[in-house]
Structure formats: structure tokens, C-alpha cells
């Protein structure tokens, strides 16, 4: 293997291995029963409400908005997610007869685990100092994921979708609140004292490792024989088909560097963990949703590595 290929291989490995190691440590924690399900639920709630809020606040407050806000990147990502959602809403009912599974499959295809796995990919390749481009995307992507997820599940449950309650819940999301607070403080020029900003930064730095540990400790392998066909379709669609099409279009449109890697984090990462909870709450097939999270997360370490190695070798970042 020549030096060029070796360097590209090292970049790809460096992006994926830290994520895999943290998830694996979390799996060991579960295997050793150092945390039970109730304790994991409490920790997950704490990370969601406190850690992610601090991460969003710190990332945007310390960011250079002139370089972190990329309107063209955001517009493409929004249009890409909407296109996948619309196409899935049209095609899935034609091939899946059961309503409880339709919404789950749609959500598995368009909703990625961008926060837990996408942002770390950017950080592992470009360094923590450059993740503001990725974290700024959270303020756009996460509200859209939440709204579209409810639309998909409610549509096939037969419920009446109401926009305002969903919008209100989105703006109660700690990540969104942290992003709004950080952006406002930066825009208005509010000076956060160093003794206050430092611990917020320390919590922000701990967010991804802790969240990935909890993700690994939360995995549950259930029976898959009843929905094997649907599961295979979701895994291939989420990890191969969707990123293959959208990233090809992005490259053709000239996206390169950190913007392309941010899209890898958006479109190549596995199903969002929250999709399982939403399926439970809104009458979807929770067993299929849980299997999608587990199997896409397991195979994503391989597929993300392949996408990064491919695009790095082709010189796109």
C-alpha cells in the first residue's frame, strides 16, 4: 500500500474507531451490569437535558458565525432530508402492507443519528475546534427530524397531526434552547465570565463520550425473524442507498472539505436512538424500530469507514 492510500486509511480509521470504542465500552458496562435500565434512563435524560444543552450553547457562543453558518450547506441538507422523507412516504406504503411498520420504516430512512455520531466524525477528522459548522447544523436538522418523525408515525397511525403542539415541543428541546441562548449571547455581545464559561465548556467536551457510552449500554438485541425483510431494507436504505445518492449529488454540486464531511455525518449515520422511543409513544412497531437502531448502528462503523475512505481517496476533503 503506497503512502497516499495509507494516509487516507488512517484518516478513515481515526474518524470511526473512537466512536466504535466508546460504544463498545458502553456495551461492556451493560454486560457487566454496572448500570441497570433505570439508571441508564436517568443518565440518558441528564445527558439530553444538561450535556447537550451545554454543548450547543458553548459551540455557538464560542463560534465564529461568519465561518460556522453555511447557508448553502444547510439548504442542501434540509432539501435532502425532505426529499428522502417525501420519497419514503410515497414508496413505503406500496411495498409494506402493515401500517404500524410504515411510519417506522419511513423514519428509519430519513432520520439519522447526527448528534451522537455525525458531530464526532467531524471532530475526529477536523478537530474539536472546527465542529461549529456541524453543531450549527443541529439547530436546523433536529427540529425538522422531530416534526417529520411525528408526521410519519401519526399519518400511518390514523391520528390527526397538529403542527403547533409539535412546534412547541421542538422549541422546548434542550438542544434548541442551548443553541438559541448561545447564538443570542454571541449576537448581543453578552460576556460570559470565564469561571462560568469554563465548566460549561468542560461539560460540552464530555457530552459526546458520555452519550456514546450510554448508547452502547442501551442496545438491546431482540427477535428479528418477524421483520427480517423490513430490517434489511432499512439498513441498506439508511447506510448505503440514501448516502450514495445524496452525497453524489452534493459532490456534483461542488461541496468539499468540512461541508462534505458534515453531510457524511448527516446522511451516513445510523437511525436515531430517539426513533425507538417515538415509535413506542405513537403506536409504531417499536420492536422493528429498536432493531433498526441496533443493526444500523452496528453496520454503520463499517459503512461510514468506507464512505470516508472513498471520499478521502478521491480527494474531496
Q: Bin 69: left if φ > 0, else alpha if -120 < ψ < 50, else beta.
A: beta
* Segments of the chain with pLDDT less than 70: 1-2, 65, 158-163, 166, 170, 221-223
pLDDT computed for residue 222 by the predictor: 64
pTM recorded for the entire structure: 0.82
Q: And the C-alpha cell for 175?
A: 438542544
pLDDT in tens, 131-170: 888 888 887 888 888 888 888 888 887 666 666 776 777 6
User: Residues 24, 216: contact at Cβ < 8 Å?
Assistant: yes
pLDDT computed for residue 202 by the predictor: 94
pLDDT computed for residue 195 by the predictor: 94
pLDDT computed for residue 221 by the predictor: 66
Amino acid at each position: 500500500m503506497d503512502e497516499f492510500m495509507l494516509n487516507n486509511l488512517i484518516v478513515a480509521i481515526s474518524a470511526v474507531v473512537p466512536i466504535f470504542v466508546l460504544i463498545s465500552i458502553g456495551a461492556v458496562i451493560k454486560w457487566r451490569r454496572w448500570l441497570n435500565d433505570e439508571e441508564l434512563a436517568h443518565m440518558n435524560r441528564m445527558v439530553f437535558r444538561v450535556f447537550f444543552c451545554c454543548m450547543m450553547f458553548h459551540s455557538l457562543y464560542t463560534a465564529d458565525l461568519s465561518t460556522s453558518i453555511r447557508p448553502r450547506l444547510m439548504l442542501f441538507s434540509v432539501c435532502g432530508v425532505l426529499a428522502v422523507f417525501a420519497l419514503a412516504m410515497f414508496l413505503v406504503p406500496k411495498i409494506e402492507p402493515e401500517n404500524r411498520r410504515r411510519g417506522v420504516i419511513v423514519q428509519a430512512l430519513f432520520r439519522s443519528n447526527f448528534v451522537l455520531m455525525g458531530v464526532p466524525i467531524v471532530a475526529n477528522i477536523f478537530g474539536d475546534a472546527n465542529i461549529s459548522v456541524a453543531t450549527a447544523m443541529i439547530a436546523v436538522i433536529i427540529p425538522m427530524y422531530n416534526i417529520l418523525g411525528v408526521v410519519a408515525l401519526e399519518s400511518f397511525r390514523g391520528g390527526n397531526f397538529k403542527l403547533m403542539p409539535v412546534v412547541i415541543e421542538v422549541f422546548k428541546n434542550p438542544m434548541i434552547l442551548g443553541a438559541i441562548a448561545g447564538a443570542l449571547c454571541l449576537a448581543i455581545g453578552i460576556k460570559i465570565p470565564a469561571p462560568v464559561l469554563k465548566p460549561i465548556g468542560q461539560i460540552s467536551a464530555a457530552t459526546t463520550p458520555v452519550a456514546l457510552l450510554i448508547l452502547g449500554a442501551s442496545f438491546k438485541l431482540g427477535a428479528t425473524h418477524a421483520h427480517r425483510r423490513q430490517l434489511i431494507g432499512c439498513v441498506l436504505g439508511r447506510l448505503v442507498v440514501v448516502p450514495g445518492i445524496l452525497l453524489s449529488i452534493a459532490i456534483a454540486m461542488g461541496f468539499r472539505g468540512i461541508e462534505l464531511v458534515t453531510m457524511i455525518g448527516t446522511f451516513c449515520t445510523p437511525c436515531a436512538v430517539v426513533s425507538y422511543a417515538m415509535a413506542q409513544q405513537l403506536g409504531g412497531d417499536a420492536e422493528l424500530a429498536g432493531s433498526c437502531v441496533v443493526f444500523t448502528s452496528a453496520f454503520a462503523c463499517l459503512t461510514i469507514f468506507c464512505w470516508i475512505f472513498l471520499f478521502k481517496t478521491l480527494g474531496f476533503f
